[in-house]
Amino acid sequence: MRYIYFSFFLFSLFSFSQNSIFLKSGRNLTKYSYTNELNIKANNISSDFGNSYSFGYSKQLKPKLTKFPLFYNCEIALDEFNSSVYNKNLLVNWRTLYAGVNNSMLITVLKPKNFKLDFKLGANISTIIYGKQVLDNQIYDIKNTDSFKGVFLTGVIGIQAKYSVSETGGLSIGYDRLNGFNPSLNASEKFSITSNRVWFGVYYNLKKDSQKTNDSQKIN
Residue 103 maps to which CATH number? 2.40.160.20
pLDDT at 66 (0 to 100): 66
Using an 8 Å Cβ cutoff, are 67 and 74 in contact?
no
Structural domains of the chain, count: 1
What's the angle, vertex CA 198, arms to CA 2 and CA 185, rounded to 5?
40
Instruction: Say which range, 26-30, 79-83, 85-89, has the weakest mean pLDDT.
Output: 85-89
- pLDDT tens, residue by residue, 153-197: 999 999 999 999 998 999 999 999 999 998 888 767 788 999 999
Containing domain of residue 172, as a range? 2-219
**Could you tell me which residues come within 8 angstroms of residue 138 by beta carbon, excluding any fewer than 6 positions away?**
none
Task: Give percent of the chain above pLDDT 90.
Answer: 57
Secondary structure of 13-55 in the HEC alphabet?
HHCCCCCEEEEEEEEEEEEEEEECCCCCECCCEEEEEEEEEEE
pTM of the model: 0.82
